[in-house]
Structure 1
Amino acid sequence: MKIYKIPEATVMRLSIYSRYLYQLKTEGVETISSGDIALGVGVSSAQVRKDLAYFGEFGT
């Protein structure tokens, strides 16, 4: 298993993603795309995918 050092900027964005996703969950949203997350938090969808890629594969 490879061990990666996760950039500090990515770690900071993870808490932003978490808060946004929690908000959506309380609103009843069950599925979301990286593009939707990006619009909600103000980053590119590519950045969302790159950040989450440190933790494995998600989605389809």
Structure 2
Amino acid sequence: MFDSTAARAPRRSMGADRHVGRLLVRAYVQATSPTRRSEILDLLDRLLLMGPFGVAQAIDDADRR
């Protein structure tokens, strides 16, 4: 679901989708390789553009820690 179909995903999956953002932010923090961090940032960027994955909130929460 890394394209526009994510916006049309069934509502029942949206609860789980919110965890995607948190998991990616955690993966970014734990990544030791600059290449891996770059890949994770690319995913976060794509998900931010699509919206429904809780990425903006996960980034905001991580910023406040």
> Of the two structures, which has the highest relative contact order with CA contacts closer than 8 Å and spacing of 6 or more?
2
What TM-score, normalized by structure 1, do the two folds share?
0.33
What TM-score, normalized by structure 2, do the two folds share?
0.32
**Richer in helix (by share):** 2
